[in-house]
Amino acid sequence: MTELHVFTSHQGGTLTLHPLGEIDLDSAGHLVGAALAVEQGSGTDLAVDLTGVTFIDCSGIHALVALQHVARDGGGTLMVSGAGQQARELLVFSGLAALIGRPAGFPAPGRQPERDV
């Protein structure tokens, strides 16, 4: 079983999740569970800081989509930051980068991310 630790912080109207480790089939539910375990008020935004994530797969993408629904149901939004190269490419490929906005470092929708060949 892959180990994932999720730390949370709350500032203003934003709950930030700080996952550390790999987000895969074994651990993706833990990320969503961490958000649900923290009481959310109306209008609470969710942020996911992927700086400490060493790997993410389609299960992690599914977890981010679920978090977007949690945020939207509470009247807030989902923001993702700190994504490494592998995570950025997966977010762009899945279409999730366009869905949550285009933070710095994400290519415009319809453009392929730059790759070293």
| Residue 43 pLDDT > 90 | no
Residue at token pair 């790999």: 22
pLDDT digits (tens, 9 = 90+) for 14-26: 899 999 999 999 9
Distance (Å, whole) CA 113 – CA 89: 7
Mean pLDDT for the chain overall: 81
Alpha-carbon distance values, 40 to 26, 74, 81, 102 (Å): 25, 7, 20, 25
Dihedral sign of CA atoms 43, 48, 49, 52 in order:
positive
pLDDT reported for residue 20:
96
Question: Is residue 45's pLDDT more than 70?
Answer: yes
Q: Which pLDDT tens digit goes with each residue over 68-92?
A: 998 888 888 888 988 888 888 898 8
